[in-house]
Amino acid sequence: MDYLVIEGYKSAAEEFSHEAGLPPPVDLESIESRMNIREALHRGDVEDAITRMNDLNPEILDTNPALYFHLQQQKLIECIREGRIGDALQFAQDELAPRGEESPEFLSELERTMALLAFDASSAPPAIADLLSPAQRIKTAGEVNAAILESFSQGKEAKAVGLLKLMCWGESMLDERAEFPKVCPSTIAFARMGS
Q: Are residues 164 and 153 in the same domain?
A: no
On whether both 182 and 91 belong to a single domain, the answer is no
- The domain of 126 spans 2-157
Quote the CA–CA distance of 123 and 133 in Å, as a whole number.
14
> Residue 83: helix, strand or coil by DSSP?
coil
Q: Please indicate, yes or no, whether residues 42 and 135 belong to a single structural domain of this protein.
A: yes
* 148 and 171, same domain (yes or no): no
- Same domain assignment for residues 167 and 96: no
Residues 24 and 84 in one domain: yes
The reply to whether 31 and 108 lie within a common domain is yes
Co-location of 90 and 127 in the same domain: yes
Same domain, 36 and 124: yes
Same-domain status, 71 and 109:
yes
CATH of the domain at 93: 1.25.40
pLDDT digit string, tens, across residues 98-117:
887 778 888 888 888 898 88
Give the up-direction half-sphere exposure of residue 96: CA atoms within 13 A in the CB hemisphere. Answer: 26
Burial of residue 9 (CB within 10 Å: 0-12, 13-18, 19+) is middle
Provide the number of structural domains found in the chain: 2
pLDDT of residue 192 exceeding 60? no
What is the reported pLDDT for 189?
47
Do 181 and 109 fall into the same domain?
no
Percent of the chain with pLDDT over 90: 30
DSSP track, 21-70: T---SS-HHHHHHHHHHHHHHHTT-HHHHHHHHHHH-THHHHS-HHHHHH
Angle (CA) 76-43-39 rounded to 5° is 120
Residues 85 and 70 in one domain: yes
Measure Cα distances from 137 to 13, 38, 127, 187 in Å: 25, 9, 15, 31
Summarised one tens digit per residue, pLDDT across range 51-96 is 999 998 889 998 998 999 999 999 999 999 998 999 999 999 998 8
